[in-house]
Structure 1
Amino acid sequence: MLQFIRDRAQGWIAWVIVGFIIIPFALWGLNEYVGGSSEIAAAEVNGQNVSQRQLQESYYRQRQRLQEMFGGKLPEELFSETAMKQQLLQQLIEDELLLQSSFSSKMRIGDQQLGAVIRSIDAFQENSQFSNELYERVLRTQGMQPASFEYKVRRDLLLQQYRIGVEGSEFTTDVEVKLISELNRQQRQVEYITVPVSDFTKAVSVSDDELNSYYSANQSRYSTPDMVKVNYLELKQDNLASEIAIEESLLKERYESQVINYKTPEERRARHILITDDDDAKARQDAEALLAKIKAGESFETLAKELSQDPGSASQGGDLGFFGLGLMDKAFEDAAYQLTIGELSPVVKSEFGYHIIKLEEIRGGETKSFADVRLEILAEVQQERAEQRFYDQAEILANITYEQPDTLQAAAEQLNLVIKVSPMFAQNGGQGIAKNAKFSQAAFSEDVLQRGNNSEVIELSKTHFVVLRIEEHQPAGVKPLEMVKSSIHKVLLKDKAEASAREYASTLLQKINEGEKAQELAQQENLKWRETTIKRDEKEMDQMLAAAIFKMSHPTSGESTRQLLQISNGDQVIVSLNVVESIDSSNGTIDEKAQKALQKGYAIASYGSVVGSLRSEADIKINQ
């Protein structure tokens, strides 16, 4: 399991970093994250709450991902906040069910496993080695504590472990694999005539009545949402900090009073050999024997490669890399931190088994000079003073924009701020600052949109406040016919051309069914005819056509199966399926590709069945 997690850490854990660190604390801050709340839960699962905070966090994370996919702006016709939240709530309920099942099955993620995953994350590494100082700094800059981050990583590892356990229990038989392999290798010999839709485009026309009728019947396709442009004032703590001058003597005084904080954390690099056995006494005896061999001169690294039972480090000669305090099993850590470089530990027992530890290197532990940390102290003091100034100005901003609700000018002059203007955006967001859901929702609130007042101070983050008011409002409506007439004309022309092509192709199919030869008929009608054999992974044929051919029923009694099909560009294709054959190129061996595909399908089905069973037996209450 440890090796499995390590192998995958750079992919999904990288996502965990972004999701766990940036989203929750940008929205709620640390106190709300770790503290309790009296809010109504979004759902209850067997008495355990799924909080509104969890739902909002998932929503903003998903919304951010979608915005990135669509270049910053979500297509209005595809985005529904309500539908997305419902879907995400179901996923959170599923996660809670799986966690509860994991706990009841006594599944756990040990400290050493958690530490190995965290140490493997690129964001926490310097020179390809884990840095405890960098780890704490990355979390600290986002207002996050190691304990809360490690809790969420441990939680996701447990969910991952549960899924692996369920899916890993599935297997396939040779008979099943053989059947799937035969289907995969199946080939189909066909002949077909293509009737191009382009041949009918010039022969059809669209009247004004048809345009008007289509427009009237499909106005929902051409609707436009409420759109607004807003003026806004923006207050950022970071902007204030850079303007604050700090006396040099104060910086030196801060350094001297907090010099202990500028001592770099000590990190140690060690090798270990792990010995485990169901018989505890035998495991200890084996470890003691190994220790004696090492003391007698045998290579620690070689013995680790041959005998260590830690799959994550054995191939590296037992090398664990650098680690700091709090990441290893307590007994292991205590022993490692008592060693000098090159020294061997006695046999150490941890919750994972018996270890022999050799200390290779120590780094850190030095005190940085004032010159080294001056800029850090300056930024720290500036931020402290900026924080007070920020909240003082935020209070002034709130008071003035409330007392003068029809203008931002007075607050802008008092605070020396520039009134900014957004582009037009809808309620589900837009470009720039309008990507922020709090910003866009405030713009469409009744007090701002309908009454024309300034908004309240909007807390986009703990250090970023805005107040906005409407500059321009375009109510929801339907695009005028003249604006969409051209696109409607193209749609109707295409529909009519396809209908004409289909009608013509149907008459040809009837002639073939009555006995005419497809090739001769194609020549008479000046159409393209082709005979070919296709495979399931056909690349040269239109994919829609190839997929449809493999859904056609087998020929019977020497009679071809015929069908009229439409491909992706609207062309009509008359297909005659003549022969279906399976090519056995396995030479009696198991098709590993087919086996993996089948096993994966079984695994997904098994996992879905487990989730369904947990849902059916659970007491789930959703608070609308």
Structure 2
Amino acid sequence: MLQKLRDKTSGWIVTVILGLLMIPFLFVIDSSYLGGVGAQNVAKVAAPPTWWRSAPSWWPMSFLWQHHEISVQDFRTRFEQVRQQTREQQGEDFDPRAFESTENKLAVLDKMIDDQVVRLAGEQSGIVISDSTVRDTIASIPAFLGADGKFSQDQYRMRLATGNPPRTPAQFEAEVREGMQLQVVPSALLSSGFITQAEAERLMALLYETRDAELAVLPPVPADTAEVTDAQIKQWFDTHAKDFRQPETVSLEYVEINAATLPPATAADEATLRKRFADEKARFATPETRLASHILIAADGNDPAALKAAEAKATRIAAEAKAPGADFAALAKANSDDTGSKSAGGDLGWVERGAMVKPFEDALFAMKTGEISGPVKTEFGFHVLQLREQKGGQERSFEDVRDQLAAEQLKADSENAFSDLSGRLVDQVYKNPTSLEGPAAALKLPVQTVGPFTRATASGIAANPAVLRAAFSDVLVQDGTVSDPITIAPNHNVMIRVTDHSPEQALPLEKARDQVIAAIRADRTRQASAKAADAVLAKLNAGQTLQALAASENLQVQAMPGLQRGQPVPTPEINRALFAAQAPTEGKPSYGKVDLQGRYVVYAVTKVTPPDQSKFTEEQKQQVIQGVGQMHGDEDAKALTKALRKRYKVQIEEGNL
């Protein structure tokens, strides 16, 4: 029977039928198997194959496209880096809740997508970073240089092993290679931007021109006191409703714990101080350091034969180094595999405990001055050691440091008392997280209140940025729970609870009436000031001068010769206006006005002086040419990335952010 079934289901007709049946599945198959983002990724960037660059994104075989994913882990790592940078920039103003917004996450992801787009473009263009280029780049990183300023293999491995996170040389080299590959195309475009000599000269003529001007500050217009009708009030209120809102307010109760106001701690007795001295004896000793040299015979730890040969060579060199009259430095230059110290005769400089791997350190600090030891096996191979000199290691007596110990113990006891009281308050609050009265009473601490206040009117303890953020946070406002301890200063914190909250809301006209009247009158005053400035400008354009109008218009005229573009002189606003004005023609100044918070300044540009191009040095010209060229190159790089994103297929899974 099986043979009959096999005969019936074989042949080219059945093959064609099965092929036709498979086609619909290509359209309905779950994208997570073929072209989807995937559960462990936040985004995917795919480029059509090089043999069909115009392949449409809806092509059923798009899973064959070349692609890169951005994993959740990679995204979180980058996001944390940006978080730390932002925290350092903003200081106390940094708001961790606001930073976690979807907009911020998408902005970070967008930059990561751009990187992957550039990476794909480089790969499809055949850009390859050679091993020698990666090695040369790593060898130039200052953190991996030895005492002689040259690359040290030991330093390199130690830095990677103790980094955050720890990395192997292979992992680090892959990171460097990827980073360099990402920079090839943008760097090439950045360096390819250029401007012509004529364009540079025109730009320098604009940048370095100076202008002579006269400024006249108009006298203040009398404040408007005219009647404001109900109709005017209603019209202004209706058209400026967003200006008349009652800001969000909160009221707080809080318990404050400050080590400075707690009862002083009791001075420690003699036994406590002596125990502290015994426990921390090493702190009162000068660190022992040793001036060492070594000869490294590198070996592959996975090859027993290579290990045996390296050990034999190290044993032979150790014997030669111990021979009378032997020159250790010459032996190191001739035999050591440590490129960082080889040229210096194996010199490692002064070595402290913890600076070297443990077998190396144990052997070195067991040696006597002038002794040669080895071979010592480490993960790098076999070392022959020479101890040239040692210093430090002296200890101070208890009597010498007793006063210091007493002061430190008193401070520690005070901090412990603060920490203990803070911990007990937290424990009490956790029993009833919606009240401060009970926990405060149990610890005999006062409950204080503050508010209502807005974000702009907070004072006292509420003005602290951390307290202010917590006070207006959704958690405390909506749940009415007590906050976690908020640090005000070292050994000084508070726990707060929102007792009353009023959301931002529109003010009714009855409450906003006085504000509306003040706004209408301020607007009238501004209009009157602008009208007065326009009247002066009309007279100037009719042929009069600022100097001639000074007396009749009560103007304060000031000459400002030789003003430079982009300088905050006399103010940034006035400087921009002066250099945006048309140049004077046929001896006729160019006039204009500037609004300085409701008070106007009328200006006259009387002269434009172009720079003397012959006085520019070649270095100045090249700086302008290179600076503008790099700007053009940067714009080209951004334009290329934008164009590539249109050609590539970008998928984002916001739910994984």
TM-score range, shorter chain: 0.5 to 0.7
Paired residue for 2:209? 186
The residue aligned with 1:401 is 432
Please tell me whether residue 46 in structure 1 is matched to residue 67 in structure 2: no
User: Which of the residues 538, 542, 552 maps onto 2:581?
Assistant: 552
Q: Give the letter aligned to residue 464 of structure 2.
A: K
Question: In structure 2, what is the Cα distance between the partners aligned to 1:560 and 1:342?
Answer: 90
Q: What letter corresponds to residue 239 of structure 2 in structure 1?
A: A
Q: 2:91 aligns with which of 51, 64, 73?
A: 64
Match of 1:455 in 2: 482
Deviation (angstroms), 1:231 = 1.7
Alignment of 1:381-400 (within 5 A): 389=420, 393-394=424-425, 396-400=427-431
1:435 partnered with 2:464: yes
SS of the equivalent of 1:469 reads: strand
CA contact (8 A) 1:177 1:591 kept: no
CA contact (8 A) 1:562 1:574 kept: no
Q: In the alignment, which residue of structure 1 is the partner of 2:239?
A: 217
Q: Secondary structure at the match of 1:207?
A: coil
SS in 1 for 2:446: coil
Aligned residue runs from structure 1 range 203-602, under 5 A: 205=226, 207-209=228-230, 210-211=232-233, 213-234=235-256, 243=265, 248-249=270-271, 252-253=274-275, 255-256=277-278, 259=281, 263-266=285-288, 324=352, 364-370=392-398, 372=401, 374-375=405-406, 378=409, 389=420, 393-394=424-425, 396-402=427-433, 405=434, 407-422=435-450, 424-426=452-454, 432=461, 435=464, 437=466, 440-441=469-470, 444-445=473-474, 449=477, 453-455=480-482, 457-458=484-485, 467-477=495-505, 480-481=511-512, 484=515, 488=519, 491-505=522-536, 507-508=538-539, 512=542, 516=543, 518=545, 522=549, 526=553, 534-537=562-565, 543-554=572-583, 558=586, 562=590, 564-568=592-596, 580-584=608-612, 586-587=614-615, 589-590=617-618, 592=620, 596=623, 599-600=626-627, 602=629
Paired position in structure 1 for 2:19: none
Aligned residue for 2:54? none
Q: Distance in 2 between matches of 1:90 and 1:490?
A: 44
Map of 2:320 onto structure 1: none
Aligned in 2, Cα 1:342/1:172: closer, same or farther, shift over 3 Å?
farther
Larger displacement relative to structure 2 (538-547 or 232-241): 232-241
Tell which structure's C-alpha radius of gyration is larger: 2
Q: 1:464, CA displacement in angstroms?
A: 7.8
Q: 1-side partners of 2:115 and 2:355: how far apart?
A: 26
CA change 1:503–1:173 in 2 (3 A) is closer
Question: 1:173: how far off?
Answer: 7.5
1:315 corresponds to: none
Aligned residue pair count: 480
The alignment-based identity, stated in percent, is: 16
SS at match of 1:231: strand
Deviation digits for residues 379-399 of structure 1 (CA, Å, limit 9, x no counterpart):
798599769956862563134
Q: CA deviation at 1:374?
A: 3.6
Distance 1:86 1:169, change over 3 A: same
CA distance in 1, matches of 2:550, 2:430: 84
Between the aligned partners of 2:514 and 2:352, the Cα distance in structure 1 is 65
Query: Using the alignment, how far apart are the partners of 1:425 and 1:57 within structure 2?
Result: 31
Unaligned runs of 5+ in 1: 1-39, 68-73, 118-144, 272-309, 311-319, 344-357
Report the CA distance between 1:229 and its aligned residue.
2.8
Q: TM-score, normalised by structure 2?
A: 0.51
> Would the alpha carbon gap of residues 565 and 80 (structure 1) be closer, same or farther in structure 2, given more than 3 Å must change?
farther
Is contact 2:287–2:392 with CA below 8 Å preserved after alignment?
Answer: yes
In structure 1, C-alpha distance between the alignment counterparts of 2:417 and 2:187, rounded to whole Å? 52
Instruction: Say if 1:545 and 1:459 are closer, same or farther in 2 by CA, change over 3 A.
Output: closer
In structure 2, the CA distance between the partners of 1:223 and 1:518, relative to structure 1 (3 Å rule), is: same
Counterpart residue number, 1:36: none
Contact 2:191 2:629 in 1 (8 A): no
Q: Deviations over 1:336-388 (max 9, x none)?
A: 99999999xxxxxxxxxxxxxx9999764344544537459847985997699
Q: Given that residues 194 and 527 in structure 1 are in contact (C-alpha distance below 8 angstroms), is that contact kept between their aligned partners in structure 2? A: no
**Is 1:197–1:497's contact at 8 Å kept on the other side of the alignment?**
no
SS at match of 2:580: coil
Aligned mates of 2:107, 2:424 — CA distance in 1: 42
Gaps of 5+ in 2: 1-39, 45-68, 120-127, 147-160, 294-339, 341-347, 372-385
CA deviation vs aligned residue, 1:507-553 (integer Å, no higher than 9, x gap): 436x63xxx45579848965768888644257875653443232234
- Any residues of structure 2 matched to 1:148-159 within 5 Å, and which? 148=164
Letter in structure 2 aligned against 1:550: F
Distance 2:576 2:245 in 1: 35
Supply the AA of the counterpart residue of 1:418: P
Residue 213 (structure 1) shift: 3.9
SS in structure 2 of the partner of residue 46 of structure 1: strand
**One-letter amino acid of the counterpart of residue 232, structure 1:** Y
8 Å CA contact 1:235, 1:464 repeated in 2: yes
- The CA deviation string for residues 482-519 of structure 1, in whole angstroms up to 9 with x for no partner, is 6646852562243221342255246436x63xxx4557
TM-score by length of 1: 0.53
1-structure distance, mates of 2:512, 2:210:
50
Would you say the 8 A contact 1:565–1:572 is kept in 2? yes
Whichever residue aligns with residue 226 of structure 1, its letter is E
